[in-house]
Amino acid sequence: GAGVSQSPSNKVTEKGKDVELRCDPISGHTALYWYRQSLGQGLEFLIYFQGNSAPDKSGLPSDRFSAERTGGSVSTLTIQRTQQEDSAVYLCASSLVGTRSEKLFFGSGTQLSVL
Protein backbone atom coordinates (compact mmCIF):
# COMPACT_ATOMS: atom_id res chain seq x y z
CA GLY A 1 0.00 0.00 0.00
CA ALA A 2 0.91 3.64 -0.31
CA GLY A 3 0.64 4.57 3.37
CA VAL A 4 1.88 3.38 6.74
CA SER A 5 0.10 0.19 7.70
CA GLN A 6 -0.45 -0.94 11.29
CA SER A 7 -1.90 -4.13 12.65
CA PRO A 8 -3.98 -5.06 14.46
CA SER A 9 -6.23 -2.01 14.45
CA ASN A 10 -7.67 -3.07 17.79
CA LYS A 11 -6.25 -5.30 20.49
CA VAL A 12 -7.90 -6.29 23.75
CA THR A 13 -5.76 -8.18 26.20
CA GLU A 14 -5.71 -9.21 29.80
CA LYS A 15 -3.39 -7.63 32.33
CA GLY A 16 -0.10 -9.52 32.46
CA LYS A 17 -0.21 -10.79 28.89
CA ASP A 18 2.34 -9.85 26.23
CA VAL A 19 1.30 -8.06 23.04
CA GLU A 20 2.98 -7.37 19.71
CA LEU A 21 2.05 -4.45 17.50
CA ARG A 22 3.20 -4.29 13.90
CA CYS A 23 4.09 -1.38 11.64
CA ASP A 24 4.80 -1.49 7.91
CA PRO A 25 6.23 1.90 6.86
CA ILE A 26 6.04 3.58 3.49
CA SER A 27 8.36 1.86 1.05
CA GLY A 28 11.69 3.67 0.84
CA HIS A 29 11.30 5.53 4.13
CA THR A 30 14.37 4.98 6.26
CA ALA A 31 13.09 6.62 9.45
CA LEU A 32 10.41 5.00 11.62
CA TYR A 33 8.83 6.28 14.83
CA TRP A 34 6.52 4.89 17.47
CA TYR A 35 4.27 7.22 19.45
CA ARG A 36 1.37 6.55 21.76
CA GLN A 37 -1.65 8.60 22.69
CA SER A 38 -3.28 7.93 26.02
CA LEU A 39 -6.81 9.17 26.66
CA GLY A 40 -6.86 12.97 26.84
CA GLN A 41 -3.13 13.24 26.24
CA GLY A 42 -0.96 14.32 23.37
CA LEU A 43 1.21 12.02 21.35
CA GLU A 44 4.10 10.68 23.40
CA PHE A 45 7.33 9.71 21.65
CA LEU A 46 8.46 6.13 22.32
CA ILE A 47 11.26 5.10 19.96
CA TYR A 48 12.95 6.10 16.69
CA PHE A 49 14.76 4.00 14.09
CA GLN A 50 16.96 5.44 11.35
CA GLY A 51 18.61 3.10 8.87
CA ASN A 52 21.26 0.95 10.49
CA SER A 53 21.90 3.35 13.38
CA ALA A 54 21.21 2.36 16.96
CA PRO A 55 17.59 3.23 17.79
CA ASP A 56 16.71 6.17 20.03
CA LYS A 57 14.86 4.42 22.86
CA SER A 58 14.68 7.45 25.12
CA GLY A 59 10.87 7.53 25.17
CA LEU A 60 10.18 3.95 26.19
CA PRO A 61 8.36 4.19 29.55
CA SER A 62 9.72 0.99 31.08
CA ASP A 63 11.77 -2.10 30.32
CA ARG A 64 8.54 -3.93 29.55
CA PHE A 65 8.54 -2.06 26.24
CA SER A 66 10.83 -3.03 23.37
CA ALA A 67 10.85 -2.62 19.62
CA GLU A 68 12.76 -3.92 16.70
CA ARG A 69 12.95 -3.16 13.05
CA THR A 70 13.89 -6.01 10.77
CA GLY A 71 15.59 -5.45 7.44
CA GLY A 72 15.13 -1.72 7.73
CA SER A 73 11.42 -2.05 7.03
CA VAL A 74 8.75 -3.65 9.23
CA SER A 75 8.82 -2.82 12.93
CA THR A 76 7.32 -4.61 15.90
CA LEU A 77 6.58 -2.98 19.25
CA THR A 78 6.35 -5.52 22.07
CA ILE A 79 4.83 -4.83 25.46
CA GLN A 80 5.47 -7.52 28.06
CA ARG A 81 3.30 -8.12 31.11
CA THR A 82 0.81 -5.47 30.06
CA GLN A 83 -0.67 -3.13 32.65
CA GLN A 84 -3.90 -1.16 32.52
CA GLU A 85 -1.93 2.09 32.13
CA ASP A 86 -0.58 0.73 28.84
CA SER A 87 -4.03 1.19 27.32
CA ALA A 88 -3.63 3.75 24.54
CA VAL A 89 -3.53 4.22 20.79
CA TYR A 90 -0.10 3.23 19.51
CA LEU A 91 0.85 5.15 16.39
CA CYS A 92 3.64 4.39 13.97
CA ALA A 93 5.06 6.99 11.59
CA SER A 94 7.72 7.03 8.92
CA SER A 95 9.65 9.66 7.00
CA LEU A 96 12.09 9.60 4.14
CA VAL A 97 15.38 10.17 5.94
CA GLY A 98 14.44 11.40 9.41
CA THR A 99 15.46 15.04 9.41
CA ARG A 100 13.65 17.59 11.56
CA SER A 101 12.12 19.46 8.66
CA GLU A 102 10.42 16.41 7.21
CA LYS A 103 6.79 15.66 7.74
CA LEU A 104 5.90 12.39 9.39
CA PHE A 105 3.40 10.04 7.79
CA PHE A 106 1.33 8.25 10.41
CA GLY A 107 -0.55 4.99 10.32
CA SER A 108 -4.07 4.69 11.70
CA GLY A 109 -2.80 3.24 14.94
CA THR A 110 -3.50 0.25 17.14
CA GLN A 111 -6.04 0.79 19.91
CA LEU A 112 -4.75 -1.30 22.82
CA SER A 113 -7.09 -2.04 25.69
CA VAL A 114 -5.72 -3.83 28.76
CA LEU A 115 -8.45 -5.26 30.96
Partner 1 sequence: DQQVKQNSPSLSVQEGRISILNCDYTNSMFDYFLWYKKYPAEGPTFLISISSIKDKNEDGRFTVFLNKSAKHLSLHIVPSQPGDSAVYFCAASGFMSSNTGKLIFGQGTTLQVKP
- Interface residues with partner 1 (CB under 8 A) are 4, 31, 33, 35, 40-45, 48, 50, 56, 59, 91, 93, 95, 98-109
| Closest listed residue to residue 9, CA positions, set 76, 88, 108 | 108
- Nearest approach in angstroms of CB 104 to partner 1 is 6
Q: Which helix (H) or strand (E) holds 49?
A: strand 43-50
CA distance 100 to 96: 11
Nearer to partner 1, 4 or 67 (CB): 4
CB-wise, 10 or 18, nearer to partner 1?
Answer: 10
Q: Taking the complex as a whole, how short is the minimal distance between the CB of residue 80 and partner 1, in angstroms? A: 24
Adjacent-strand bridge partners of 112: 11, 88
Q: Which helix (H) or strand (E) holds 91?
A: strand 88-95
Smallest distance from partner 1 to CB 90, Å = 11
**What is the 8-class DSSP label of residue 72?**
G
In the bound state with partner 1, the residue whose beta carbon lies nearer, of 68 and 102, is 102
CB of 2 to partner 1, least distance (A): 13
